Structure 1
């Protein structure tokens, strides 16, 4: 299988994520009273009773890649076509949604117990849905959405019950540096899905769960702000500008001006915050965009390289291979 599998509810892929007790009671009945405007998705795939995953309609416009360990699972859901997308989840497991890419023209998100949100720019946002709570998301995406879902079975994870992981509060569209950092590492493992990474995946999953507990109890984050790095508002502005201009050449002075810093100090602060200089970050995001476009067989490698901001096919192929270990054509053959 390639970096993404098709959205499905078959046991071997997205639906069979967390094995609970194997009985039909694992799929809880949807209580329409929790969301008066909720409605069943037409012809949506049913999640198998032995596992739990976010249900997405229509299923054929996303690709999904999953990885699981004891009591925890993760998946990356990548939209491959533009069009209205609806997502729903309610299960006896916790859900953490990590929005890597997502800007919508219209839509709203609902988590039981919280006000609805029509926030449009979802990039770098997190949402936590406690076990048994309803989650519903509807959006008309402006850019192709990429979101990671992490599922936690509070009865199976090796976490001290006294920490209160079974009873967590819902959160909608928040930011947290500790969760984001760990989630990015887990997403990388899910993308490559190597059996040798299972223990690392399980360890990072435990870290992610403990960070959720710390957030829920109000304990200080284990990831302290980087001294000398960009402030949170500066990170948001810089990242948003880069995402909106992936195919363009972005002068360092332009980014620095946006966050009110000198080019020299901005470059240093950016590297401290993101672990790489602005130019390399820009290139890495172009490669991620190229991965998405390679899923469309109608586009040639040359077209994809130009769209992603590379002036020549050769430079695109070299940068892609340096980042992934594969040529664009080789990567596409695995999809």
Structure 2
């Protein structure tokens, strides 16, 4: 992978993850350790030892937002901060369970669609090439299908055509980057493959209904 900004990873107890990287800039990472045996996670919360699959370098807006709020509470001296952090911890677990359920449904084999292993290969390839123009032929060759059969199977599996899926993922990345005040709208557009700020703005507004600047303003408000 060439882009780790805004990435999340979930490693359940009993699993081991290790790796290495040569970062171009200093890497900043926040770790949350969640003990589901803690009294905080009792039956009344609706959480009883959830089984959540390992997930590496993914992005989900709801999980990301909750994690940022929880991170902001770490080390806070506010007397009510502990209760708020505990509430956020419960929300974070619920968001992970929701993501697990949503993914499980999305990856079920669909008649005429792509097998799970092909879906995974395509998703990983698209994530690694978000800032590039990837042709339909390139994607079809990745899973050894004709362009016609690939386009039809992809839409049956993901619910949208390949180009729309690619663009949606670009905009998800843009939403994540817009939470970083240090980056200008122009810089973010370039990072996700737009040479012109105006083109990025049009594409972002088409997907979200807001310009990047408006979206950033709403987030800060």
The two structures have a TM-score, normalised by structure 1, of: 0.42
Quick one: higher RCO (CA 8 Å, sep 6+), 1 or 2? 2
After superposition, the C-alpha distances for 1:147-199 in whole angstroms (9 at most, x for unaligned) are xxxxx9552257xxxxxx74666x55279xxxxxxxx7976998xxxxxxxxx
Q: 2:151 aligns with which of 267, 273, 293?
A: 267
Say which structure is richer in strand.
1
What is the rounded CA distance, in whole Å, between the counterparts of 2:177 and 2:64 in structure 1? 18
Which among 168, 173, 197 is matched to residue 54 of structure 2? Answer: 173
Residues in 2 aligned to 1:188 and 1:268: alpha-carbon distance in whole angstroms: 32
User: Which position in structure 2 is the counterpart of 1:140?
Assistant: none
Distance 1:242 1:288 in 2: 13
> Would you say the 8 A contact 2:11–2:54 is kept in 1?
no
Deviation for aligned residue 1:230: 0.9
| Partner of residue 20, structure 1 | none
- TM superposition shift of 1:319: 1.3
2:36 matches 1:131: yes
Kindly indicate which of the two structures has a greater share of residues assigned to helix: 2
* Counterpart Cα distance in 2 of 1:309 and 1:234: 25
Q: Which consecutive residues of structure 1, in runs of 5 or more, have no partner in the other structure?
A: 1-77, 81-100, 104-108, 121-128, 134-151, 159-164, 176-183, 191-201, 213-220
- Structure 1 CA distance, aligned partners of 2:154 and 2:135? 14
Change (3 A) 1:154 1:276: farther
Matched residue pairs, number? 173
TM-score, length-scaled by structure 2? 0.61
Say yes or no: does 1:117 pair with 2:24.
no
Q: What is the alpha-carbon distance in structure 1 between the residues aligned to residue 159 and residue 17 of structure 2? A: 32
Matched-pair contact (CA < 8 Å) for 1:230–1:270? yes
Aligned to 1:240: 124
| Structure 2: stretches of 5+ with no match in the other structure | 21-33, 67-90
Aligned counterparts, 1:1-335, within 5 A: 101-102=7-8, 111-112=12-13, 114-118=14-18, 131-132=36-37, 153-156=41-44, 166=48, 172-173=53-54, 224-333=108-217, 334-335=219-220
